[in-house]
Structure 1
Amino acid sequence: MGAASPAGRGEILAWACYDLANSGYATVVLTAVYNAYFVSVVAGGDPALAPGAGTLVWTLALAAANGLVLLTAPVIGAVADHRAAKKPLLLATTVGCVAATAALGLAGPGEWRFAAVLLALSAYLFASGENLVAAFLPEIARDDQLGRISAYGWALGYAGGVLILLLALAVIARAQAAGLGPETYVPWILLGVAAVFALAASPTFLFLRERARPAGDGAGLAAAVAAGLGRLAETLRRARHHRDLFRFLVTLTVYHAGIQTVIVLAAVYAQEAMGMGQRELLVLILVVNVTAALGALAFGHLQDRIGSVPTLAATLLLWILALAVAWAAGGRAGMWVAGNLIGLAMGASQSAGRALVAAFTPAGRAAEFFGLWGLAVKLAAVLGPPSYGLVAYLTGGDHRRALLTTAAYFVAGLVLLATVDERRGRAAARAAR
């Protein structure tokens, strides 16, 4: 299923640069800084909101964004394949996400409605871009390289997360030394994230080639959408020919509900349940990014040796262990142990899942099938974080109880993974070329 003309190291690096570029958004906005800032300052600045309501609003805004991705990702992917337009669509989502991220800094204390709209917009564009850049993977990598090249992207992304967290820590240290509050320095951090995103994504647009060829006759957008929808309908009708892909997409939806919850709420849990301050929290997440990069690289090579399904099973067991430690932790030391276990599991499971979808994807339909991957991931994001937020709200802010709902997703995912036959799924992809 590899590329018609193999990608060299420089082009693979250019592709991986996008993981580095968007990691700042994922790390600062979704994981480390803005989520806790939104709950404690933006929503916390409105005295009319009940305890736990800020967390619920945060999760609902992200659920709205991911619900929109759920509706549009397969169509965007099918159109991208029909018109061979992954790259221009990726550029549009990138520019939009950069602008919306910078604008998030305009929302001050109490302005949670405005912030929620910008958050949903930026998260939608971020997720759509993730789907499009992932669809290049089966074009630039041979079958026997999918695991490691996917891992290179994730590892570089985590390196970008470390870089942006170091910059954020420097800004916070200087601001706090000057007696400034988060409402002063967080907007500057968001501007920095937007700038790094734009700069680091440049090699992707300069050097990554669009290897696909248009399937249509140059007709207009409406015809391309219709053709894309037709291809998508055909794919769904032929689901029995790709049964292991669809079984894995169901499995991925379940365990990714847990991953998405941890990504957007781990900082809130550490701050609200463990009493971590913002600087200690950022240092922890910085270390976790290093651990995640190591996990992605180590498990990526293991995946190419023993297969994706056994590798994923190992990472899901690691997730269950990590959340058990976090739930049982009586203080911040336990959270450090849990955080690093989460890092290992996160880097490995995200990389392995993307590579397995690539292995199950027929040549010439990468954007379409990765649109389905995006659909599964975003359905997970619609299900996971709101369930945590709802439990936290109904229990008056009890984050430990909410964490138990997250662990259940990984247990169910491990059970479902046993139904996926990797060898049969790869054979189906080769037969559909």
Structure 2
Amino acid sequence: MALFSQSALRPGVRKREVFGWAMYDFANSGYTTVVITAVFAAYFVGGIAKGAPWGAFAWTVALSVSYAIVMLSMPAIGAWADLHAAKKKVLAVVTAGCVLGTAALAFTPQAGGAAGVALAMALVVVSNTFYSYGESLTGAFLPELATAEGMGKVSGWGWAFGYVGGMLALGLCLGYVLWSQAHALPASHFVPVTMLITAAIYGAAACVTFSLLPERAIPSAPGERRSAWQQLRETFQQARAYRDFMWLLACTVCYQGGVAVAITLAAIYAEQVIGFVPSETMVLIFVLNIAAALGAFGFGYLQDRIGHRRALGGTLLAWVAVCLIAASVTTKGGFWWAASIAGLAMGSSQSAGRAMTGVLAPPRQLAEFFGLWTFATRLAGIIGPLSYGAITWMTGGNQRIAILTTAVLFVAGLLLLLPIDMRRGRAAALREEGGPQSGVEPFAAR
């Protein structure tokens, strides 16, 4: 934990608490890496859906349903957690939900036919919904741990640590897949085991978080409490006071839509368009996670130095390049270049977005505002993959056109990033706290 100085942390915060917080990134990254990206996504399309033209679309529908549930419920859950200082308690419940949902995916290959497709889609909805709740709630702890000037470093460190967790889960799964293939065992045998491995790592690593990370929030006095929906209604009525945060949400919807395409459809594209086999895809995603960890860690420091907006803008340019390269290459070697750049851009763009949210969120409404950020990322998760799946279906399975149109989302994100003023947004977030005199530090970065 000597990777950043104590000055990056708020007064009274110990480095072991940051380690505990980062362990949740470590825990849940295996879910996105193995289930959403590398293993189950490709198996769903090629194995459960038997390679049908609607397979990719059905996969994106399942994800979109889960994101819609999160969009409609997470801001209110966040507001309730703020009012009752219950982020940690709610995080424990949703973690159990995701772990159990992931483990249950092990039963889908045995179902077969339409029942198998329906069961797989339902369990993906359940597990991904709980995963999304957890991602939002753990993000809400960040401003309690890091200063505004150190937010990028701490966020980047946590996200980089998360990719290490993803690599551990994927590495263990890859080892079992290679052993299974050497013994001529089918995917219907080894995919269930990878789901159990992923669930076990998630649950075990999350226990470290719950043992080291305290709940620092203070519950509102009973006479001051309003319902979560009343709190949300008031926040939206005051949206003009948080205009830079609202611009960030609009920007997030666009660029995270493109990132969601990369996360949910990379393995499908690699296997069905470029010609990768499952073991090659897993190695590809493993290396992509290494690049993402380096991107998140390095850009965390660069972000605090050059400013959040500039750092995020640079990563969005890199994403545009990824889309152009992926749409044009025909060889595995060429696709490796696109994947490597995507890895660097993925870690840095996700870390930057979380840190910017932490800077612009009012200290007394952290879970609520991170719930709004989750609303934006999940709306992006619907728009990006669903449009990709629809374009693929309408063009007779032409995923090259679909990945090329994804570049438009990153360009739109760049344009929506321009109006954001981080100084002004931080000042608005601290207005009700009384500024520096209240013990909440000012913000000097760009």
Common fold, TM-score beyond 0.5? yes
Q: Map 1:200-239 onto structure 2 (within 5 A).
A: 200-217=205-222, 227-239=227-239
> Are 1:185 and 2:190 an aligned pair?
yes
- Deviation of 1:3 after TM superposition, in Å, equals 7.9
Distance 1:52 1:314 in 2: 36
The aligned residue for residue 123 of structure 2 is 118
Secondary structure, in 3 states, of the residue corresponding to 1:64?
A: helix
The aligned residue for residue 264 of structure 2 is 264
Q: Give the aligned residue type for 1:122.
A: S
The aligned residue for residue 37 of structure 1 is 43
The aligned residue for residue 380 of structure 1 is 380
TM-score by length of 2: 0.93
The aligned residue for residue 174 of structure 1 is 179
Residues 248, 417 of structure 1: 8 Å contact kept: yes
- Deviation of 1:227 after TM superposition, in Å, equals 2.0
Distance 1:413 1:71 in 2: 23
The aligned residue for residue 406 of structure 2 is 406
Q: Map 1:32-181 onto structure 2 (within 5 A).
A: 32-44=38-50, 51-108=52-109, 109-110=112-113, 111-181=116-186
The aligned residue for residue 293 of structure 2 is 293
- Deviation of 1:330 after TM superposition, in Å, equals 1.5
Quickly say closer, same or farther: Cα 1:403–1:4, change in 2 above 3 A. closer
Q: Give the aligned residue type for 1:160.
A: G
- Deviation of 1:332 after TM superposition, in Å, equals 0.6
Distance 2:380 2:221 in 1: 33
- Deviation of 1:43 after TM superposition, in Å, equals 1.2
| 1:73-103, Cα deviation, whole Å (9 max, x unpaired) | 1100000000101001000000010001000
TM-score by length of 1: 0.95
Residues 4, 211 of structure 1: 8 Å contact kept: no
Distance 1:428 1:126 in 2: 30
- Deviation of 1:230 after TM superposition, in Å, equals 1.5
Q: Give the aligned residue type for 1:9.
A: K
- Deviation of 1:430 after TM superposition, in Å, equals 1.9
| 1:315-371, Cα deviation, whole Å (9 max, x unpaired) | 000101111111111211111000000000000000000000100011111001101
Distance 1:288 1:381 in 2: 20
Which 4+ residue blocks in structure 1 deviate beyond 4 angstroms? 2-5
Secondary structure, in 3 states, of the residue corresponding to 1:364?
A: helix
Secondary structure, in 3 states, of the residue corresponding to 1:52?
A: coil
Distance 1:64 1:398 in 2: 24
Distance 1:423 1:4 in 2: 19
Distance 2:301 2:157 in 1: 10
Distance 1:414 1:58 in 2: 28
Distance 2:296 2:53 in 1: 34
The partner residue of 1:19 within 19, 22, 25 is 25
- Deviation of 1:432 after TM superposition, in Å, equals 2.8
Distance 1:180 1:42 in 2: 16
| 1:362-417, Cα deviation, whole Å (9 max, x unpaired) | 11110011010000000111111110011111122111011122111001111111
- Deviation of 1:290 after TM superposition, in Å, equals 0.6
- Deviation of 1:36 after TM superposition, in Å, equals 0.1
Residues 10, 146 of structure 2: 8 Å contact kept: no
The aligned residue for residue 348 of structure 1 is 348
Distance 1:293 1:354 in 2: 15
Secondary structure, in 3 states, of the residue corresponding to 1:180?
A: coil
| 1:24-56, Cα deviation, whole Å (9 max, x unpaired) | 1010000101000000111118xxxxx321111
Range 402-411 or range 81-90, more displaced: 402-411
Q: Give the aligned residue type for 1:134.
A: G
Distance 1:3 1:286 in 2: 31
Q: Give the aligned residue type for 1:401.
A: I
Secondary structure, in 3 states, of the residue corresponding to 2:364?
A: coil
Q: Give the aligned residue type for 2:302.
A: L
Distance 2:259 2:106 in 1: 26
Distance 1:208 1:161 in 2: 21
Quickly say closer, same or farther: Cα 1:396–1:133, change in 2 above 3 A. same
Range 118-127 or range 162-171, more displaced: 162-171
Distance 1:169 1:56 in 2: 26
**Count of aligned pairs:** 422
Distance 2:177 2:371 in 1: 38
Residues 64, 382 of structure 2: 8 Å contact kept: yes
Quickly say closer, same or farther: Cα 1:342–1:390, change in 2 above 3 A. same
Sequence identity (%): 45
5+ residue gaps, structure 1, are 46-50
Q: Give the aligned residue type for 1:368.
A: E
The aligned residue for residue 436 of structure 2 is none
- Deviation of 1:270 after TM superposition, in Å, equals 0.6
RMSD: 1.4
| 1:84-123, Cα deviation, whole Å (9 max, x unpaired) | 0100100000001000100011012431101100000100
The aligned residue for residue 333 of structure 2 is 333
Q: Give the aligned residue type for 1:173.
A: L
The aligned residue for residue 394 of structure 1 is 394
Distance 2:174 2:213 in 1: 32
- Deviation of 1:238 after TM superposition, in Å, equals 0.7
Distance 2:9 2:243 in 1: 24
The aligned residue for residue 255 of structure 1 is 255
The aligned residue for residue 305 of structure 2 is 305
